Amino acid sequence: MKTTLCVVFTHLALTLIGVNAAQGSDCPGFCMQGRSDAVSVCGAACVASFSCSLNTCTCSFACKPTCTAASSAVLLHDPINIQLASVAALDTKYSSPDFHLDLVAQPDVPLTISGVEIRNDSGRQLSELKYSLRNEAGSKLRAIHILLTFFNDRNEPSGGERLSLSPALNQGENHQFVVSLSHYVESGQRVAIAITDFETETQTWHGDHKVIIDAMKRR
């Protein structure tokens, strides 16, 4: 079984839980939307590689380094909240790179991502994402899609990942998650994170991906 996303929401002690990979039937249109997101992040004709699995509902893409399109200056009512990455200092297995995490503020989304942390294993060139997810909706959370975009030290997009969870969180519940990323987060990079879609027992929400990606590109 594959583990998808692990989240860190509050500063409270949380129980780390594993989430089984989503089934293909849980994410119709997932890969098509992932390819559209790749074009929006990298620019037309600037996607270097793209991979997507309907078995795990995960997408990963890379941008051509010499073909980055300038981000459009879109003014949004919801500013980006910038947080410096928190790294587990006592675990010598992980390095402490100099990078930043940006959480896109989404006050209309009744889900909260917090306590985000990225840990790097420099020896194996692997990065892990930890975060907490809190369900503040009025009913049980069935599914959530999260988009991560990566930017170099010149704030040019270098790639992204689209992730799907089926966490079954009740109203008011908070859980911590962990996932291994396809990308290795290099020193000096910026990682932007946003919720793009979710489904509860009583509500389905699909965000405007272009607006969300434009917000991610802003610094």
Residue 96, pLDDT score? 52
Q: What is the mean pLDDT of residues 99-104?
A: 90
pLDDT band of residue 98 (cuts 50, 70, 90) is confident
Q: Where are the domains of the chain?
A: 24-217
What's the Cα-to-Cα distance from 119 to each of 53, 95, 97, 181, 196, rounded to whole Å? 24, 7, 9, 10, 24
pLDDT band of residue 67 (cuts 50, 70, 90) is confident
Evaluate if pTM is beyond 0.85: no
Higher pLDDT, 126 or 73: 126
User: C-alpha angle with apex 114: 10 to 116, nearest 5 degrees?
Assistant: 110
Q: What is the mean pLDDT of residues 114-129?
A: 90
Strands 100-104 and 190-200 turn out to be parallel
Mean pLDDT computed over every residue of the chain: 78
Residue pair 173/181 in contact (Cβ under 8 Å)? The answer is no
